Amino acid sequence: MFSHVSAALIHRLDPALIESSKVEISRDSPPRNYDGVLIYSRKLPPEEISSEFAYPVTTLPRTLADVALDRSLEVSVPLISQALRAGRVDRSDITERLVKGKRGRRRALLAVELSSAEYESPAEAVCAVKFHRFGITGMVPQVETVTESGRFIGRNDFRHKCAAVAVEVHGVGKFYLSPDGPDEASKTSHQRNMDLLNAGFTVFNLSFGDLFRPRIFAAIKRAIETANQRKTG
């Protein structure tokens, strides 16, 4: 049956990263790695095979558990987060399939922990993974920010819970899928950015490519440390 990222695509999830161009299949046989097909050795009970489609595919909880076990956090966290946000699974649906002794279990449990229904795009989920990888803590997703006088500025993709640091993750869809059109969305984003700066925030605007540039996250970490030092100093 189709499994892993191939199954996630069949379940209509959108991966942030694929990592492999091969079709992924699970079956009760030794693993095989062909030019276009990767076969995992899995013996699955009938209840973990979906009957929703015209071809056999692992159920969504089993699919997400498999991805968490065998793929990087950058692949698994966005997929799990999408399913959580849509209300199609809860965390226990996945973790109960991560049995002790399973290879990759520790990483898989971390993937579930890092995932959140609050992430509004796969890129935001990847950003959360990068925060973890670079030791950045305290970044809260989807926070409404106001000035000291109480005037609403906007909702940030991520804002630090203590330091005046905000991170916005800009994908193409953020502008071109806006109901008001890309020009109006860009104008609104620019105004929010200026309002945040005027309110004393350090703002990082990240493209998808920036998520893979270590210096960006080093700068975010420094900004948080500097802001916290100013508060305590």
Q: Quick check: 66 and 40 in contact, CB under 8 A?
A: yes
Position 207, amino acid: S
Q: Quick check: 58 and 5 in contact, CB under 8 A?
A: no
- Tens-place pLDDT, residues 95-153: 999 999 889 999 999 999 999 999 999 999 999 999 999 999 999 999 998 877 778 88
* Prediction pTM value: 0.90
Q: Which residues are paired to 169 by β-bridges?
A: 206
Question: Which run of H or E residues covers position 139?
Answer: strand 139-146
State the pLDDT at residue 176.
Answer: 45
CATH for 125-232 is 3.40.960
State the pLDDT at residue 192.
Answer: 77
Burial (CB < 10 A; 0-12, 13-18, 19+), residue 62, is buried
State the pLDDT at residue 224.
Answer: 97
- Tens-place pLDDT, residues 145-193: 887 777 888 889 999 999 999 999 986 555 445 565 555 556 666 777 8
Written as six digits, the tokens of 138 are 């305290």
State the pLDDT at residue 112.
Answer: 98
State the pLDDT at residue 147.
Answer: 72
- Tens-place pLDDT, residues 27-85: 999 999 999 999 999 999 999 999 899 999 999 999 999 999 999 999 999 999 999 99
Burial per residue of 192-221, b for 16 or more beta-carbon CB atoms within 10 angstroms, e otherwise: bbebbeebebbbbebebebbeeeebbeebb
State the pLDDT at residue 210.
Answer: 96
Q: In whole angstroms, give the CA distance from residue 22 to residue 39.
A: 10
Residue ranges of domains in the chain: 4-117, 125-232
Q: Quick check: 78 and 122 in contact, CB under 8 A?
A: yes
> Within 10 A of 177 (CB to CB), how many other CB atoms are there?
12
- Tens-place pLDDT, residues 208-224: 999 999 999 999 999 99
